[in-house]
Amino acid sequence: MRDAGTLVFVEVRTRRGEASGTPEESVTPAKQARLLALGERWLAEHYPDTDPPDCRIDVVGIHLSPSGKLLGVNHIPGAVGF
């Protein structure tokens, strides 16, 4: 997606209840490294001969009750350093 002139990669995570942790906690350091690598690869493929735009990686956590009722949405801009 785009936010003004910034290209934004978004990782969306959902959890029912918090027995396994929050959706945001599921973006582990290993997952963050994969997101960075994927973002860099995408930029290299789409901007091979030019400078890419400013970029960031956001995380959106969707919190559901154990029965599936939406409890909240948490958007963390720039959650993963680019």
Tens of pLDDT, residue by residue over 36-52, are 999 999 999 999 999 99
The domain defined by 2-80 carries CATH number 3.40.1350.10: yes
Backbone angles phi, psi at 34, to 5 degrees: -65, -40
Determine the pLDDT at residue 18. Answer: 82
% of the chain beyond a pLDDT of 70: 100
> pLDDT at residue 7 above 90?
yes
- Going through the chain in order, the beta strands assigned E by DSSP cover 2-3, 6-16, 55-64, 70-80
Determine the pLDDT at residue 3. Answer: 95
